[in-house]
Amino acid sequence: MVTVCVFTTLTGKKAYLDHLVVAADWRRRGVARHLMRHAIDIAVTAGASRLDLTASYEKVAARALYLSLGFQERETGSFRLPLAPSKSQLN
């Protein structure tokens, strides 16, 4: 299962991936990658400018998945996937 929260702030729409869970019997079959792509599609369709998530350092496979999908690790230990150019990138 995957849970994506889309919300509006003063600076626009953003998304947060709250949960990604794959049953042990279904791991290593591409299910998490499929769910993540679906979560990204939801965020893009909703007009979010980014998709954030957090992952503990013990979640080695999950962290590798997020990086392979284009997420950027932040100094805070969270990850962010920019979905649309920011105003500063447009100039």
Please name the residue ranges forming H helices in the chain. 31-46, 60-68, 87-90
pLDDT interval class at 70 (50, 70, 90): very high
> What tens digit of pLDDT does each residue of 42-67 get?
999 999 999 999 998 899 999 999 99
Fold entry, domain 2-90: Aminopeptidase (3.40.630)
Examine the pLDDT at 88 and tell me if it is beyond 80: no
Determine what percent of the chain falls in helix, strand and coil, rounding each to the nearest 5: 35, 30, 35
- Is the whole-model pTM more than 0.85? no
